[in-house]
Amino acid sequence: MTDSTPSRYTGTAIVLHWLLGLGLVTSFALGLYMADLPLSPQRLKLYNWHKWAGVTILAFSFVRLAWRLMHKPPADLPMSPVQRGAAHAAHNVLYVLFFAVPLVGWAYSSAAGFPIVAFGVLPLPDFVPVDKALAQAIKPWHERLAWLMAIVVLAHVAAALKHHFIDRDNILSRMWLQKQ
Amino acid sequence: MKTSTKTYFATVALALLASTAMPACAQQKLLPAQSEISFTSKQMGVPVDGKFKKFDAQVAFDPKKPDAAKIALTIDLASASLGAAETEAELAKPDWFSIKQFPQATFESTSVKALGGGKFDVAGKLNIKGSSRDVIVPVALAQAGTNTTASGAFTIKRLDFRIGDGDWKDTSMVANDVQVKFKLSLTGVPTL
């Protein structure tokens, strides 16, 4: 490992990648499930968990972005320019969505008149006014952006698996914690 | 002769009664458009505000004679607004306000204690959903021209009135404490 061209991601980047990946998949599944539930204490609980998870992901995404900007990622593996372009574009879109999806969800919650109180104890500020019409306008965008993220994540996973199992270029080892 | 004497005394007695009783009985009038009754509950720590759009008050109140005061409020529970349509529909159901069976909540004062500086403690009975509880409501009066604004806040326990029954009894989801805030605008209240 040299400073200029590391062969793998840093330990912190790896931990953040898998932790946030798990958080995003779980929050997405929870969001899909809870949206169709009838009003009940269960639904109320899941909505709050979803919001708490969302703002936690948002906070860690800032850490992740800062880390990414301060630490050089490993060099690209040999691949066609189209593949390389697609991979980087997907990463960039994902980084934008890491912020956009939770922020739009937060805005919806605020506009709907339900300010977020993280973990039931930490009230977060509203950055949009309480406005029913605004809430209705924002709502579909949280869902659309989340679906866009799901699609890009699927493409990202499919590409990684293709590299690993078809190209056999051992790409996953760059994002896997090294055995000590 | 006897009858007319009787009538005479009765008339005088009535007139006397009227002259002494009238000022205390003078009804004050509520100005609904300038009045508000709101409530705040907490759902997993999240404050959720609601308000009642329809209510009425019968007030006989002279700040100088708090002992003679009579304050009664009637709140139309179906007029509750909670911001979200689905929660409003839920509120009408038997687990919450059970509006079909108990369309109104009432408050009736039993005693009023002057605390000085335009502040009063109004004790009375609050009746919601068939349950009655004694409450003490702190009220502050502010007068401007002919209008008097009575405002204050107090906290009730929702489970005292079986509001949020069944699955909703869990106070870690919806807190037991509900804060009620009011601002009642009245005309005809004698000066402080």
- The model's pLDDT over B119-172, given as tens digits with 9 standing for 90+, comes to 999 999 999 999 999 999 999 999 998 899 999 999 999 999 999 999 999 999
Looking at this protein, which amino acid is placed at residue B141? L
In a domain, A4, yes or no: no
In a domain, B4, yes or no: no
Determine the average pLDDT of the residues in A37-55: 95
A35 interfaces chain B, CB cutoff of 8 Å: no
Q: Could you count the other beta carbons within 10 Å of the beta carbon of residue A95?
A: 14
Given a cut of 80, whether residue A95 has pLDDT beyond it is yes
In a domain, B13, yes or no: no
Q: Which of B52, B66, B75, B62 is nearest to B143 (CA)?
A: B62
Distance CA A124, CA B179 (A): 21
Q: Could you count the other beta carbons within 10 Å of the beta carbon of residue B93?
A: 14
Q: Which of A40, A48, A112 faces B44 most closely, judged by CB atoms? A: A48
Minimum Cα–Cα distance from A125: chain B residue = B46
In a domain, A59, yes or no: yes
Pairwise CB contact (< 8 Å): B44 & A120:
yes
Determine the average pLDDT of the residues in A84-111: 97
In a domain, A3, yes or no: no
**The predicted structure's pLDDT at residue A112:** 92
Domain range enclosing B80: 26-187
**The predicted structure's pLDDT at residue B11:** 60
Distance CA B66, CA B28 (A): 14
Given a cut of 70, whether residue A139 has pLDDT beyond it is yes
In a domain, B173, yes or no: yes
**The predicted structure's pLDDT at residue A169:** 87
Decide: B52 and B43 in contact? Cβ < 8 Å.
no
Pairwise CB contact (< 8 Å): B173 & A44:
yes
**Count of domains observed in chain A:** 1
**The predicted structure's pLDDT at residue A136:** 94
Determine the average pLDDT of the residues in B72-101: 90
In a domain, A1, yes or no: no
List all residues of chain A from 75 to 104 with a beta carbon under 8 Å from chain B.
Answer: none
In a domain, B165, yes or no: yes
Distance CA A158, CA A139 (A): 29
B47 interfaces chain A, CB cutoff of 8 Å: yes
Which band of pLDDT confidence, cut at 50, 70 and 90, is reported for residue B2? low
Given a cut of 90, whether residue B192 has pLDDT beyond it is no
Given a cut of 90, whether residue A134 has pLDDT beyond it is yes
The answer, yes or no, to whether ipTM is higher than 0.90 is no
- Between A11-34 and A132-161, two packed helices, what is the crossing angle to 10 degrees? 130
In a domain, B16, yes or no: no
Mean pLDDT of chain A: 93
Q: Which long-range contacts (CB under 8 A, 24 or more apart) does A42-50 make?
A: A44/B43, A44/B44, A44/B173, A44/B174, A45/B44, A45/B173, A48/A120, A48/B43, A48/B44, A48/B46
Given a cut of 50, whether residue B20 has pLDDT beyond it is no
- What residues pair up with A55 in beta bridges, in sequence order? none
CATH number at A55 reads: 1.20.950
Helix, strand or coil, per DSSP, at residue B190 = coil
Determine the average pLDDT of the residues in A81-102: 96
Given a cut of 90, whether residue B101 has pLDDT beyond it is yes
Determine the average pLDDT of the residues in B25-34: 82
Determine the average pLDDT of the residues in B47-72: 93
In a domain, A140, yes or no: yes
Which band of pLDDT confidence, cut at 50, 70 and 90, is reported for residue A171? confident
Pairwise CB contact (< 8 Å): B84 & A113:
yes
Determine the average pLDDT of the residues in B7-15: 59
**The predicted structure's pLDDT at residue A58:** 98
- What residues pair up with B180 in beta bridges, in sequence order? B39, B154
In a domain, A128, yes or no: yes
Which band of pLDDT confidence, cut at 50, 70 and 90, is reported for residue B12? low
**The predicted structure's pLDDT at residue B4:** 61
In a domain, A180, yes or no: no
**pTM to 2 decimals?**
0.83
A140 interfaces chain B, CB cutoff of 8 Å: no
**Count of domains observed in chain B:** 1
A69 interfaces chain B, CB cutoff of 8 Å: no
Helix (H) or strand (E) holding B76: strand B70-76
In a domain, B14, yes or no: no
Q: Cα B156 to the chain's mean position, in Å? A: 13
In a domain, B37, yes or no: yes
**The predicted structure's pLDDT at residue B14:** 54
CATH number at B92 reads: 2.40.128.110
Determine the average pLDDT of the residues in A65-78: 93
In a domain, B145, yes or no: yes
